[in-house]
Amino acid sequence: MQGKVQIKVRGYHLDIFQHVNNARYLEFLEEGRWAFFDEFNVGDDMLKQGIVWAVVNINIDFKAEAGFGDVLEVETQFSKLSNRSITMKQRILNASNNKLVVEADVTYVCFSKEHQAAIPLPEDYRQKIEQAIV
């Protein structure tokens, strides 16, 4: 399963060099993950159980610049599943020329708000994620 969301680059996304500031890519990637979780339909159920995904690691590879007016497409998918964590692979492409702008790996742990600690993934989520891993 792969989620996709598009973001249009606005003036406030740019740095002094007039291309997207590196910190903005973190926001674009996060937007992609939120959209993916909406499509995957697990976020609300987990929150009701007091379980959240906590980001513990992000690795970003910047491949090309993006500028004002570019439409960027954020692709998100699960890539790895462990006992207490998942890793997602994300890519940001320039929608006009399909050029790769950013690649990222983001690792989450399954976190219990009640216990204030990482916990094993509930079995029903584990099975759902296993089916979606590319």
Active site residues: 15
Distances in Å between the Cα of 126 and the Cα atoms of 1, 5, 42 are 15, 24, 11
The whole-angstrom separation of Cα 61 and Cα 64 is 9
The whole-angstrom separation of Cα 79 and Cα 25 is 20
Tokens of 85: 């964590």
Report the phi/psi class of residue 56: left, alpha or beta, with left for phi > 0 and alpha for psi in -120 to 50: alpha
Q: Which residues pair with 102 in a beta bridge?
A: 62, 92
The whole-angstrom separation of Cα 7 and Cα 15 is 17
